[in-house]
């Protein structure tokens, strides 16, 4: 069962409302679609040290993993920006390791702004292949 992308963007918009961003004011929501059609959400949560901040994308994937999900189809990310806001480098690495070549749907408060495959955003990923442990 596939979720229609507008519903995934709506879930990311709702998750964004729970963001804790008192330092940057930059609130982000993410909605991860599991292979069986469930939606797991996340929002960014800032910390005073900023280095311990967690992005919405990583929160969604860690939450999904902690709930037993292992296969994912797409991720929607929403921020209040006119331009597309792709995941940061740390998120791209985590998404690759746990989700593979996901479809990444970017949006703002009103509409979809861009769509990529994760391999477009992270063309040369570091993964288990490089550790001599088989396929990535």
* Sequence spans of domains, the chain: 5-131
Q: What angle do CA 75, 80, 86 make, to 5 degrees?
A: 40
Whole-model pTM: value is: 0.91
- What is the mean predicted confidence (pLDDT) over 75-101? 96
Q: Which of 33, 46, 57, 67 is catalytic?
A: 57
Q: Judge whether 103 counts as a catalytic residue.
A: no
Backbone φ and ψ for 94, nearest 5 degrees, come out as -65, -45
H helix or E strand, kind and range, residue 89? helix 89-99
Fold held by 5-131: Cytidine Deaminase; domain 2 (3.40.140)
User: At CA 4, angle to CA 123 and CA 104, rounded to 5?
Assistant: 15
22 pLDDT more than 80: yes
What's the pLDDT tens digit per position in 36-75?
Answer: 999 999 999 999 998 899 999 999 999 999 999 999 999 9
* Distances, alpha carbon 89 to alpha carbons 80, 84, 95, 125, in Å: 20, 15, 10, 10
């Amino acid at each position: 069962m596939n979720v229609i992308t507008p519903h995934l963007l709506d879930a990311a918009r709702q998750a964004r409302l729970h963001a804790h961003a008192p330092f940057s004011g930059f609130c982000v929501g993410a909605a991860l679609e599991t292979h069986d059609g469930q939606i797991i959400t996340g929002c960014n949560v800032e910390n005073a040290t900023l280095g311990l901040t967690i992005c919405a994308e990583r929160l969604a994937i860690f939450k999904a993993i902690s709930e037993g999900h292992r296969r994912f189809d797409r991720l929607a990310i929403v921020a209040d920006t006119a331009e597309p806001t792709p995941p940061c480098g740390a998120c791209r690495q985590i998404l690759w390791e746990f989700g593979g070549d996901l479809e990444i749907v970017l949006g703002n408060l009103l509409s979809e702004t861009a769509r990529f495959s994760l391999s477009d955003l992270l063309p040369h990923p570091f993964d288990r292949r490089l550790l001599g442990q088989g396929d990535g």
